[in-house]
Amino acid sequence: MLRFDPVLAAESVFGAQDPPEGLRPGPCAMGPTPEHKPTSMHVWVFQQTAAGLALATGDTRRDPVFADDDGPRWKVRTVLDPESHPFELDKPALATAIALLDGGADVLEWSQAVTIVRESPFRGNPA
């Protein structure tokens, strides 16, 4: 079963690829892939803050899985919606994902409570 890590790093690090012009990085969505190897993934992260709604989205349309010492993991970098408020640290959020498996032959969808933290302790975060 695919799932999110229980905590997500507050900002995705894009490396050589910056987020699209005018957009700010959102949480880095990650998790283990014990049984399924997604071929593409789409992620939404929502958090109700004191200022209003924080919302980030992202997708990885090719190769969302990377190798780790503890087994394969998936990663989707997100960007904040232009109207989004900043995510609050150490507060709960809702993460939702759609994963295409086997080139779109099967689809998984799930939602999960997560916590937004400055830096995640899970491997692969935030780079």
pLDDT digits (tens, 9 = 90+) for 15-72: 767 777 788 999 999 999 878 889 999 999 999 999 999 999 999 988 899 888 778 8
Let me know if residue 124 belongs to a domain: no
Give yes or no for residue 3 having a pLDDT over 80. Answer: yes
**β pairing state of 53-60 and 38-48:** antiparallel
Q: Which residues on neighbouring strands pair with residue 109, listed in sequence order?
A: 98
109 class by beta-carbon count within 10 Å (0-12 exposed, 13-18 middle, 19+ buried)? exposed
Question: What average pLDDT does this structure show over 84-111?
Answer: 94
pTM for this structure? 0.90
Instruction: Answer whether 116's CB lies under 8 Å from 10's CB.
Output: yes
Let me know if residue 125 belongs to a domain: no
| Predicted local distance difference test score (pLDDT) of residue 68 | 80
| Predicted local distance difference test score (pLDDT) of residue 124 | 67
**Residues of the domain holding 25:** 7-117
- Total structural domains in the chain? 1
What residue spans of 1-127 are helical by DSSP H? none
- Phi, psi values for residue 4, rounded to 5°: -85, 155
Tell me the residue ranges of DSSP E strands in the chain: 7-9, 25-32, 38-48, 53-60, 65-66, 73-80, 91-101, 106-117
| Predicted local distance difference test score (pLDDT) of residue 16 | 63
Question: What average pLDDT does this structure show over 90-118?
Answer: 94
Let me know if residue 1 belongs to a domain: no
Instruction: Answer whether 100's CB lies under 8 Å from 41's CB.
Output: yes
Question: What average pLDDT does this structure show over 87-103?
Answer: 95
In the structure, what pLDDT confidence band is assigned to residue 104 with cuts at 50, 70 and 90? confident
